Amino acid sequence: MDPSIKKICFDFFAGDTDEEMAGKIQDFLSGSKENEALFKQWEQEWYSENVPSFSQLNSFSSIKRDINSRKKMRIVRWTGVVAAAACAILLAILFIPSAKVTQPDSEEMLCIVETGFREKTKVILPDSTQVWLNSASRISYNKDFLEGDRLVRLEGEAYFDVKKYGGRKFTVDLGESKVNVLGTKFNVSSYKKENLCEVSLMEGSVEFTTPGTKVEMIPGETLTLDLGRGEMEKHKGDASKGISWMENKLDYTKISLERLLQRLSSIYGIDIRYTPDKNAGSTFGVILNLDEGLPNILDGLTLIQPVRWYCNPDGSICVTTVE
């Protein structure tokens, strides 16, 4: 191991890394699982002794994004007929360089595609259905996808343009909930840390199901399920705001600060800690440009909400109410 790699990584944590050094870090991380573990250990060590400034955090976010964009797609090797079928299908998948295919969770699952933080990718399924994956999302489908009802499993957020295929139902499995369709365009958001499921329908019709509940949706409607409270709400409005992330924006007519911070945490991959005050139920409208670094976005929020924010030594961010 290059003895200078630790210093290069520490410079990276401080937001001081050029393109050549970023390449060395990526080569190091790709070398082995042990290197990845060592990198995380160094990161914790650096944060235990340093509190990054706003500019350092912004630079760190930018450099990390550049390194992620270099990640090479990893295609695992399967044997027999499954391997041949998988290779043929993967040729039909359109990847942003950072997207990757990982090893199936079980023998039933044929293909898994996932994105990292602040990465997006487009996937074409074997039935010609098009799927756009948002940041830190994962989709998988079974090996008999074209033989019966079409089933995909989603973690995170994705926009679907489902093609009709012999009258066979298309189902998005979210765990406890499911979205059933024949041919339609819709967006599904179901990040685990947000404890919320949201479906926005652009065209066609979908059926949203949870244990004991079945709700049909029509174009222009958005359905939100609060998994913590078990509360479901459906309203009609501009459903296209649900796919503003595809243009690297967040566009909300009405959102609480707590909910917005949860979404920013999911996208940027940074733990944002916020304890709602007595006005926690209040909402506001906002349009955010996700090309901005997280520090700039948080600075902007302080101009429209009575809050301040700061970095913790462990790299997390605290947002507190200003009295």
Burial bucket for residue 85 (CB in 10 Å: 0-12, 13-18, 19+):
middle
* Among candidate residues 121, 14, 109, 29, the one with its CA nearest the CA of residue 67: 29
Angle between helices 54-70 and 19-31 (to 10 degrees): 60
Q: Residue 157: what pLDDT?
A: 96
User: Which of 6-10, 146-150, 203-207, 291-295 is modeled with the greatest confidence?
Assistant: 203-207
What does the pLDDT read at residue 95? 35
167-193 residue pLDDT tens: 889 999 999 899 999 779 999 999 988
* Greatest CA separation for the chain: 65
Hey, how many other C-beta atoms are within 10 angstroms of the C-beta on 301? 20
pLDDT(14) > 90: no
72-78 long-range CB contacts below 8 Å, 24 or more apart?
72/30, 72/97, 72/100, 73/97, 73/99, 73/100, 73/101, 74/100, 74/101, 74/102, 75/101, 76/101, 76/102, 76/103, 76/104
What distance in Å separates the CA atoms of residue 278 and residue 293, rounded to the nearest whole number? 29
Pair 93, 114: CB distance under 8 Å: no
Residue type, 80: G
**DSSP codes, 112-132:** EEE--TT--EEEE-TTS-EEE
Please tell me whether the overall predicted TM-score, pTM, comes out greater than 0.75 for this model.
Answer: no
| Length of the chain counted residue by residue | 323
pLDDT band with cut points at 50, 70 and 90 for residue 87 = very low
Residue type, 93: I
Give me the percent of the chain exceeding a pLDDT of 70.
76
> In whole angstroms, what is the distance from residue 26 CA to residue 127 CA?
35
* Chain-centre distance for alpha carbon 12: 23
Q: What is the mean pLDDT of the chain?
A: 79
80-239 topology per CATH: Jelly Rolls (2.60.120)
Asked which of 107-111, 137-141, 217-221 is least confident by mean pLDDT, the reply is: 107-111
CA proximity to 99, closest of 113, 118, 111: 113
Q: Please, where are the H alpha helices in the chain?
A: 5-13, 19-31, 33-49, 54-70, 80-90, 257-268, 294-304
**At residue 73, does pLDDT exceed 50?**
no
Of 19 and 145, the structure prediction assigns the larger pLDDT to 145
CA 162 from centroid of its chain's CA atoms = 20
Q: What is the pLDDT of residues 227-256, one digit of tens each?
A: 888 889 998 888 888 899 999 999 998 899
Give the pair of three-digit tokens for residue 287.
């349009």
Q: Give SS3 for 142.
A: strand
Which pLDDT belongs to residue 129? 92
User: pLDDT tens digits, residue range 200-235?
Assistant: 999 999 999 998 899 999 999 999 999 888 889 998
Domain ranges of the chain: 5-50, 80-239, 248-321
Per-residue pLDDT, 205: 92
> DSSP assignment, residue 163?
P
Fold of 248-321: Phage tail protein beta-alpha-beta fold (3.55.50)
